[in-house]
Amino acid sequence: MPLFRFEAINEAGKKYKGTIDADHLQDAKFKLQRKQILATLVEALSDKKLGCRLPKSELLNLTKEIARLLQAGMPLFEVLSALEEKYKGQKTHHRLLLDLCDQVRSGKTLSQALSRHPKTFDLLYLSMIANAEKTGRLKEALQEIASWIGKELNVRKQIISAMLYPSLLGTFCLFVLSSLLFFVVPSMAELFEGRSLHPFTTIVFTASRWACGAKPYLALLALVVIGSIGVALFYKAWQKKILSIAFRLPYIKMLLAKVAFVRFCRSCATLLEGGVPIITALSQARSVMGHPRLEEVIRQAEDRVRQGEKIYGPFLNHPLIPSLIPRMLGIAEEGGKLPFMMRQIAEIYEDELEKTLTYISALAQPILLLILGAMVGFVLLAVLLPLTDVSSFAN
């Protein structure tokens, strides 16, 4: 059934919004009246308003559920209807599945129904489903998509877990240092006033005085940094700027290249195994990379394939691509095993990425602990050294 959006007033006199499914506008109004909902506005949801966004983890669960029910022999419409009933209490899931049911019941294919929600189903997802509908491999395609999304989430989880502990420990280091400079050291300044101090003590007290004097500016700087991080999390333009800077950093750029290449190889292998032509597979897999330099390499490979040349040419002597990769692609292309080799390359890069992230996490933890210990130890030593000078206290 189509979805309708309504605005209503509750018993307390406050306005609220909601959605309801009905055959037509009058039916929607009748259902609202029957539920004793005082609606001030009822309108059909347009395609633009309807587009739902599911997180990757929720999309993975939904894809797995559809694949399992299809595997059990249920027709597609019955599968979507059953899931719509299951997720009736969850607003986003329910709206999405209700629209899919309506579109499939009206005679549209699943890929056409999914295309109404581009925020959830990207080009690669839609291409896999559309190709599977032509070949009759919808169940297999959904299982492959679920596996591909699961691998992508696993890589993302590894990156987050590798960076989370060092980030928290670094934040704690800043908190401890700020507490010492802003509160502990100033409270002891009068105790050592007018005395000749050790150079360590002089350094710490000077730093504390400077920090206390520049407190408004440091607070403003902290707010700017926190605000920039918050903006970067929600605005793609800022994310692109940060990534463009990260692509130039010596060690980070290789890490990001591995992440992008894993995403590309796994996506391309999935598309090729699903029967997608190689040029289309390269183009669509390129769209999910998120790495401008490697995207240009894939674009050159597409042009070579169109001209009847070998695919591995642009991969030769590239600073971000190991020399083994073009050799593997050349052998696979000659043997007709390009999808298999793409998947092998993705697994090789994934293993290297996991080892790299594990190494970074294992190395960062003791280094940050040593830095924290050195900072606290330096400040304590600077404060304790004058206390050992008994003669100066006597004088």
**319: which 2 tokens?**
């600073």
List the one residue out of 92, 116, 94 whose CA is nearest residue 104: 116
Q: Is 13 left (phi over 0), alpha (psi -120 to 50) or beta?
A: left
Q: Give the least confident one: 48-57, 63-72, 179-188, 204-213.
A: 48-57
Helix axes of 138-179 and 56-71: crossing angle, nearest 10 degrees: 160
Asked if the model's pLDDT at residue 100 lies above 80, the reply is yes
Contact (CB, 8 A) for 3 and 42: no
CA torsion 81-83-88-91 (nearest 10°) is -110
Asked if the model's pLDDT at residue 352 lies above 60, the reply is yes
pLDDT tens figures, 124-135: 888 888 888 887
The secondary structure of 39-92 as a DSSP string is: EEEEEEPPHHHH-----HHHHHHHHHHHHHHHHTT--HHHHHHHHHHHTTT-HH
Asked if the model's pLDDT at residue 12 lies above 80, the reply is no
- In this structure, which amino acid lies at residue 177? L
Phi and psi torsions of 160, nearest 5°: -65, -45
Structure confidence at residue 24 as a pLDDT band (50, 70, 90): low
Range picked from 50-59, 65-74, 165-174 for highest mean pLDDT: 65-74
How many beta carbons lie within 10 A of that of residue 253, not counting itself? 16
CATH class, domain 56-149, is mainly alpha
List the one residue out of 30, 47, 50 whose CA is nearest residue 39: 30
Residues paired with 263 in a beta bridge: none
With a pLDDT cut of 90, the percent of the chain lying above it is 2
pLDDT tens figures, 364-383: 778 878 888 888 788 778 77
Q: Give the least confident one: 41-45, 109-113, 256-260.
A: 41-45
Q: Which residue has the higher pLDDT, 62 or 274?
A: 62
List the one residue out of 51, 71, 123, 148 whose CA is nearest residue 343: 148
Asked if the model's pLDDT at residue 78 lies above 70, the reply is yes
Residues paired with 15 in a beta bridge: 9
Q: Is the dihedral of CA 330, 333, 334, 337 positive or negative?
A: positive
With a pLDDT cut of 70, the percent of the chain lying above it is 84
pLDDT value at residue 99: 80
Q: What distance lies between CA 93 and its chain's CA centroid?
A: 20
Q: Which residue has the higher pLDDT, 235 or 107?
A: 107
- In this structure, which amino acid lies at residue 202? T
Asked if the model's pLDDT at residue 247 lies above 70, the reply is no
- Tell me how far apart the alpha carbons of residues 187 and 172 are, in angstroms, rounded to a whole number: 22
- Tell me how far apart the alpha carbons of residues 259 and 385 are, in angstroms, rounded to a whole number: 50
- In this structure, which amino acid lies at residue 21? D
What's the chain's average pLDDT?
A: 79
List the one residue out of 15, 372, 338, 28 whose CA is nearest residue 173: 372
- In this structure, which amino acid lies at residue 393? F
Asked if the model's pLDDT at residue 391 lies above 60, the reply is no
Across 241-247, average pLDDT: 65
Contact (CB, 8 A) for 141 and 276: no
The CATH H-level (homologous superfamily) assignment of domain 169-395 is Type II secretion system (T2SS), domain F (1.20.81.30)
Structure confidence at residue 244 as a pLDDT band (50, 70, 90): low
Q: Is the dihedral of CA 12, 18, 22, 24 positive or negative?
A: positive
Residues paired with 42 in a beta bridge: 6
Q: Which residue has the higher pLDDT, 69 or 33?
A: 69
Q: Give the least confident one: 10-14, 170-174, 223-227.
A: 10-14
Across 306-323, average pLDDT: 80
Phi and psi torsions of 4, nearest 5°: -125, 140
Q: Count helices and strands (H / E) in the chain.
A: 18, 3
Across 61-88, average pLDDT: 88
The secondary structure of 175-194 as a DSSP string is: HHHHHIIIIIHHHTTGGGTT
Across 245-252, average pLDDT: 69
Q: Which residue has the higher pLDDT, 85 or 6?
A: 85
Structure confidence at residue 65 as a pLDDT band (50, 70, 90): very high
Contact (CB, 8 A) for 197 and 388: no
CA torsion 244-249-255-261 (nearest 10°) is 40
